[in-house]
């Protein structure tokens, strides 16, 4: 697994656990604690993704959309 994907998976899992705990009415203290640490986790995730050592092979002007080189679907 790539290093910059781990925080994305972890924070997404945390979000799913948080939403589930709200829906099943777990302890209010636990829900408030999870809500209070969520901004820290999101900021950590954003930092890790933005500082990831990923080599970009194209400039924005060359390839502004990821599927730009894909063949177009033709209507029959």
pLDDT in single tens digits along all 76 residues of the chain: 578 899 999 999 999 999 999 999 999 999 999 999 999 999 999 999 999 888 877 777 777 666 655 555 555 4
Residue 68 has what pLDDT?
A: 55
CB 9 within 8 A of CB 53: no
- Give the pair of three-digit tokens for residue 23: 């829906």
Residue 53 has what pLDDT?
A: 86
The answer, as to whether pTM is greater than 0.85, is: no
Query: Given the structure tokens 């997404």, which residue do they identify?
Result: 12
CA angle 51, 56, 57 (to 5 degrees): 170
């Amino acid at each position: 697994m790539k290093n910059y994907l781990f925080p994305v998976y972890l924070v997404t899992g945390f979000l799913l656990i948080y939403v589930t705990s709200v829906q099943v009415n777990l302890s209010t203290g636990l829900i408030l604690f999870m809500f209070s640490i969520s901004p820290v986790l999101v900021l950590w995730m954003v930092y890790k993704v933005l500082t990831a050592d990923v080599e970009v092979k194209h400039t924005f002007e060359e390839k502004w959309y990821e599927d730009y080189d894909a063949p177009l679907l033709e209507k029959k």
